[in-house]
């Protein structure tokens, strides 16, 4: 008998009808003789509604920063609702089921509220219930610290709960059920002809997820890679066009050679800070990065330009919700060191081209810029890593940019065609 961990996201359990549909799917897997541990997210937009309540009560946008412990207490309530309802639905359908909070399932995390990392899963209790023939439903996105505080793993973290449980239980695989048919070459809500990617390496999925492909939480993939958990992403909706979805696993050498460009991802609402006229030397630049880090502001792209008069211009990008703090810090430093000023560009999106075979391949930048020029998209900054290229474009041009790049690299045609397209220019 095999053991499968399944995870159902918010839309998949968004209503009583959806919860019953999920219970029916679980019943089907039980009939096929699988042991099951099921991780659930909060229903629909329940987590957003809880965040809204906290903002209403505190009058603050970044509630987590000021009330991290209580924010976690509040947000974990969402998953409690869906886990109990799903257990009831299963019991009504004649299946033994029991629900556990993250804490009861012994998902142990560090002490970092609102962005906790799982340090250990003591899966004995879950295992025991499974061996008694029960379906165990576990609340996603949450755990408990060694100090017995309730923690959350960061938004979208139920995927990480599921993969961590699959690793701890040595499950045969981890199935992530969502509202689209798998991982696509680009967000199917933004690019109409995006295609389901059948098979992805952990490295490519980490890169896509980190760059905004919200279909998977990046840390889930990191855990999957570390423990060799095979992850399958698929739709929980019966009318989905694709039944098998996407499999994420270690790429074989052969496969890695074939893939040039795997997919696109994007993240809106980024801002660029330009610090002009900084004194040469590492001092001012290091100070600003240290102070931003101290205040918990995370910097994404960094570029430097050296002017003829010996001064340095530093461009930094941050998420817009951290902009006010970043500007305050940047202006403080510029005033201290006698720089020329700080300019701010808001309303930008970061687009990422991801593909393990892109590195060292001539023509990728040329094709990218040509496509964007033809689409009338202005690029504000560029960065690159071994398997990705990042581009900053205006929010209003984000969708045009994604569509133009998707077409330019012929991503709708599959991996081999994309490889040819990438190498052509
Ligand atoms: P869940 O609640 O099931 O966790 P999410 O909303 O977190 O679902 O993730 C699914 C959504 O991710 C899809 O509805 C889709 O709009 C978005 N998405 C972004 N990029 C991709 C991609 N490359 N492939 C599939 N979906 C994507
Ligand atoms: N409910 C949480 C969120 O909305 C966790 C998740 O869905 O994965 O972020
Ligand atoms: Mg999600």
For residue range 88-118, what is the model confidence (pLDDT) as tens digits?
999 999 999 999 999 999 999 999 999 999 9
217 CA closest ligand 1 atom index: 7
Cα 52 to middle of ligand 2, angstroms: 14
Return the ligand number nearest the Cα of 242: 1
Q: Say what the pLDDT of residue 277 is.
A: 92
Give the per-residue pLDDT at 251: 75
Cβ–Cβ under 8 Å, residues 40 and 25: no
Q: What is the mean pLDDT of residues 322-330?
A: 92
DSSP 279: P
Confidence grade of residue 253 (pLDDT, cut at 50, 70, 90): low
Report which of 230, 193, 191 is spatially closest to residue 213, judged by C-alpha positions.
191
In 320-380 the beta strands, taken as DSSP E runs, fall at 341-354
Please state which of the ranges 175-179, 204-208, 242-246, 322-326 shows the lowest mean pLDDT. Answer: 242-246
pLDDT (mean) for 261-281: 94
Under a CB-based contact definition with an 8 Å cutoff, are residues 249 and 202 in contact?
yes
Q: Express each pLDDT in 256-268 by its tens digit.
A: 445 578 999 999 9
Which atom of ligand 1 sits closest to the CA of residue 8? 3
Please state the rounded mean pLDDT for residues 317-336.
92
- Is residue 346 over pLDDT 60? yes
Residue 311 has phi, psi (to 5 degrees) of -85, 170
CB-CB neighbours of 257 under 10 Å: 12
Instruction: Give all domains of the chain, ordered by start, each with its CATH number.
Output: 2-179 (3.40.1160.10), 264-423 (3.30.2130.10)
> How far apart are the C-alpha atoms of 299 and 292, rounded to whole Å?
8
At 288 the three-state DSSP class reads: helix
Alpha carbon nearest to ligand 1 atom 25, residue: 183
Is the CB–ligand 1 distance for residue 14 below 6 Å?
A: no
Kindly provide the residue ranges of all beta strands, DSSP E only, lying in 129-172, ordered along the sequence: 135-139, 142-145, 150-152
160 lines ligand 1 (CB under 6 A): no
Between CA 257 and CA 357 the distance in angstroms is 6
Tell me, what's the pLDDT at 114? 97
| Listed residue (105, 78, 81, 101) closest to 19, CA to CA | 81
**10 CA closest ligand 2 atom index:** 7
The answer, yes or no, to whether any atom of ligand 1 lies below 6 A from the CB of 8, is no
pLDDT of amino acid 361: 78
**Which residues are near ligand 3, the ion (C-beta closer than 5 Å)?**
9, 156
- Average pLDDT on 335-364 reads 89
| 178 CB within 6 A, ligand 1 | yes
Find the 271 Cα to ligand 1 centroid distance in Å: 23
Q: How far apart are CA 43 and CA 86, in angstroms?
A: 11
Q: Residue 290 pairs with which residues in a beta bridge?
A: none
pLDDT for the residue numbered 307? 87
* Phi, psi values for residue 71, rounded to 5°: -60, -45
Query: Within 10 Å of residue 101's Cβ, how many Cβ atoms?
Result: 18
Does 254 have pLDDT greater than 60? no
User: Given this model, what pLDDT does residue 258 score?
Assistant: 55
Helices then strands (H, E): number in the chain? 14, 18
Confidence of residue 357 (pLDDT cuts 50, 70, 90): confident
What phi and psi, each to the nearest 5 degrees, are found at residue 9?
Answer: -80, 180
What value does the mean pLDDT take over residues 119-131? 97
3-state secondary structure (DSSP) of residue 108: strand
Task: Kindly give the interhelix angle for 398-408 and 364-374, rounded to the nearest 10 degrees.
Answer: 130
Which has the minimum average pLDDT: 27-31, 135-139, 360-364?
360-364
CA distance 333 to 325: 13
CA-to-CA distance for 64 and 114, rounded, in angstroms?
7
Query: What is the average pLDDT value for the chain, to the nearest integer?
Result: 92
pLDDT in the model for residue 3: 97
The pTM for the full model equals 0.92
CA distance 47 to 302: 33
Rounded to 10°, the helix 415-424/364-374 angle is: 90
What pLDDT was estimated at residue 185? 97
Give the mutation target among 155, 220, 221, 236 for probing the ligand 2 site: most ligand atoms within 8 A of CB: 155
Ligand 1, atom 1, lies closest to the CA of 9
Rg (CA), the chain: 23
pLDDT(376) > 90: yes
Give the alpha-carbon dihedral of 216, 222, 224, 230, to 10 degrees. Answer: 60
DSSP reduced 3-state for 280: coil
């Amino acid at each position: 008998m095999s053991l499968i961990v399944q995870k159902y996201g918010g839309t998949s359990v968004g209503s009583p009808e959806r919860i019953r549909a999920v219970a029916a799917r679980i019943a089907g897997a039980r009939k096929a003789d699988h042991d099951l541990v099921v991780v659930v997210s909060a229903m629909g937009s329940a987590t957003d509604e809880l965040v809204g309540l906290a903002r209403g009560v505190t009058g603050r946008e970044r509630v987590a920063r000021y009330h991290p412990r209580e924010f976690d207490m509040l947000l974990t309530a969402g998953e409690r609702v869906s886990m109990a309802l799903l257990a009831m639905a299963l019991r009504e359908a004649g299946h033994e089921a029991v629900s556990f909070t993250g804490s009861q399932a012994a998902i142990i995390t560090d002490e970092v509220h609102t962005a906790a990392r799982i340090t250990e899963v003591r899966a004995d209790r879950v295992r025991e219930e499974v061996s008694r023939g029960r379906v165990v439903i576990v609340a996603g996105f949450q755990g408990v610290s060694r100090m017995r505080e309730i923690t959350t793993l960061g938004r979208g973290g139920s995927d990480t709960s599921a993969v961590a449980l699959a690793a701890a239980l040595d499950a045969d695989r981890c199935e992530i059920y969502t509202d689209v048919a798998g991982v696509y070459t680009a967000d199917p809500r933004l690019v109409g002809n995006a295609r389901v990617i059948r098979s992805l390496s952990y490295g490519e999925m980490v890169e896509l997820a980190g760059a905004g492909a919200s279909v998977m939480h990046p840390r889930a993939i990191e855990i999957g890679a570390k423990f060799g958990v095979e992850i399958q992403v698929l739709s929980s909706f019966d009318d989905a066009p694709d039944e098998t979805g996407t499999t994420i696993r270690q790429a074989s050498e052969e496969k890695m050679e074939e893939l040039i460009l795997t997919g696109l991802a994007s993240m809106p609402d980024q801002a660029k800070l330009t610090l002009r006229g900084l004194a040469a030397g590492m001092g001012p630049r290091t100070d600003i990065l240290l102070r931003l880090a101290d205040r918990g502001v995370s910097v994404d792209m960094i570029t430097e330009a050296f002017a003829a008069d010996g001064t340095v211009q530093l461009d930094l990008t941050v998420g817009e919700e951290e902009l006010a703090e970043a500007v305050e810090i940047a202006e403080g430093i510029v005033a201290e060191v006698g720089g020329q000023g700080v300019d701010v560009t808001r309303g930008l999106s970061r687009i990422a081209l991801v593909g393990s075979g892109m590195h060292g391949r001539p023509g990728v930048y040329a094709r990218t810029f040509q496509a964007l020029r033809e689409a009338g998209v202005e690029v504000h900054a560029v960065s690159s890593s071994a398997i990705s290229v990042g581009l900053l474009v205006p929010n209003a041009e984000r969708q045009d940019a994604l569509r133009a790049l998707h077409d330019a690299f012929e991503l709708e045609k599959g991996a081999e065609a994309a490889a040819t397209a990438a190498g052509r220019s």
